[in-house]
Every structure is written in C-alpha cells, then in structure tokens.
Amino acid sequence: MPAPTVLVTGASSGIGAATARLLLERGWRVFAAARRLEAMEPLAALGAEVMALDVSDDQSRRELAEQLTAKVGALDALVNNAGYGEVGPLETLPLERARALFDVNVFGLMGLTQQLLPAMRERGSGRIVNLSSIAGRWVSPGSGWYGASKFAVEALSDALRLELKAFGVSVVVVEPGVIATDFAHVVSPSMEQSLSCSVYSSMMRAVRKSWDSVYRGASPPLEVARTIERALTDPTPSARYLCGHQSASVIASQLLPTQLWDKIVRIQMT
C-alpha cells in the first residue's frame, strides 16, 4: 500500500513543523509548505518534500496545487495550519493590518482549500484539518481581530463539513489552547504599539501580564501534532478537537452565563 499523502502548511516552525515530523514518523508521505524553505531543511532531511508557499498569494497557491497534482493527483489529507496573529484594541488597530491577517488566516486557508479540494471530491475521499484556536470560541480584550479570523475558520469549517459529507471528504477543526510556539514573538510589535496608546495602555498591560502568566504553562507543539494525527486517522472523526493548556476554558465559556464569563475575563485582563 502506498503511504498516505498529506500537505501541512506553515511547516517551518511550531505546530506545523511538529506535525510534519510526527506524520513522517507514522509513515505518511509529507509535503511541508511555508514561505521560508531554509527553515524546513530539517524536515527535508527527515524525508519531507518541502515546497514554497505564501498562502496569502493566489499565484503561489495555484503553483503549489499544480505541483501536488502532478506528483500525487488527489491528496489524502490537507492540514491548514498556516496563520499568524495581531493584537491591539479594535478602535486603534489599523484596518489594513486586520485585512492582512484575514488574507492569511481566512482567505489564504480557503483559497488553498479551493485549489486542492476538487481532486479529493472527485475521488470520493479525503480529510481536511483546519487549525483554529480557543480564540475561535471566546475572545479576550486586545485579540478581537485574531479571534474574528478564527471564528471565521470555525464557521467555514462547519459549512464545509456539511457540504462535503456526501462526497466522502471529512472536515475537522483542531482548537489548540496555549502552545509554546513563537506566537508571542510574532505579536510582540503590535503589542508594543498598543502599549503606547494613552487610552488603552493600562488594559493592554493587564492583557500582557495575564498572557505572560498563562504562557508559563504552555503545552508543547507535539501535543497539538498528536491531536492533528488523531483528527486525520480517527475512522469517524469528531467535528472538533480541543487540546493543550487552557483549552478547557472553551467548555467553561459555554457553560457560564455571559455576564459571569465577561466578569472573569475583565478581572484578569482589564
């Protein structure tokens, strides 16, 4: 039997790199994609087939899809992991930065899926795993746009799951909690900018303090990678898989009255 094929986006670091490594160990044929090819050299040394991808660029998505079609036809699985974050109050975060965030986290994800999905659908099998976040279920002050992008991923995944069931393609959402990646470093410039705002600086200082405290218990990326593997291999996958530090907060946010949940968040972050 040939090895099952999977594309993992955002594979240059963090969750994507950990997922690509784990799936290689489990016998998958892994295509690892990211903007920085040099950062994926360790994966290439392990046997991954590394490919360039700027998920926000339509031409880059098309070229990757064409290369994959030439290599394998229809993929067995797609792991949409590529994404990044911005932080800042909704009043002050420039809309162009919010658009850039959505270009990667939402439109890039769907643009690539649109390119790769037809071959899966025509074959009558496949699995798509979309990386969301606990921020796709509840949002803290200062992370409105990032949360909005993940809420969008949740909604799109629900629609895709319903639309593709009849074609034998499963769609699964993985919702990591607080994970030890370079996320804090990526959002650092926007955090520093928000701290200089006279109106919201005290709130953002409280947000940063809370995040610093929570990140001390962050789970390793491998924990998410194992959850992604489960999402890819469960015979009858769940619609959603929670994993990692603080992921149980999603359950609490659903069970508690909104006013009480808001109060808990405000105490910690405002």
Active site residues: 146
| Strand order across the beta sheet in which 77-80 lies | 49-52, 29-34, 5-9, 77-80, 126-131, 169-176, 240-243
Q: Under a CB-based contact definition with an 8 Å cutoff, are residues 175 and 242 in contact?
A: yes
Distance CA 149, CA 143 (A): 10
Distance CA 229, CA 126 (A): 14
Q: Say how many C-beta atoms besides its own lie within 10 A of residue 37's C-beta.
A: 15
Q: Write down how long the chain is.
A: 270
CA distance to 46, 197, 235, per residue, from 105 (Å): 28, 26, 28
Distance CA 245, CA 175 (A): 11
Rg of the chain over Cα atoms, rounded to whole angstroms, equals 19
Q: Under a CB-based contact definition with an 8 Å cutoff, are residues 215 and 184 in contact?
A: yes
The phi-psi region of residue 59 (left if phi > 0; otherwise alpha if psi is between -120 and 50; otherwise beta) is: alpha
Alpha carbon dihedral 114, 117, 119, 121, in 10-degree steps, equals -130
Q: Say how many C-beta atoms besides its own lie within 10 A of residue 166's C-beta.
A: 9
The answer to whether the Cα torsion of 152, 156, 159, 165 is positive or negative is negative
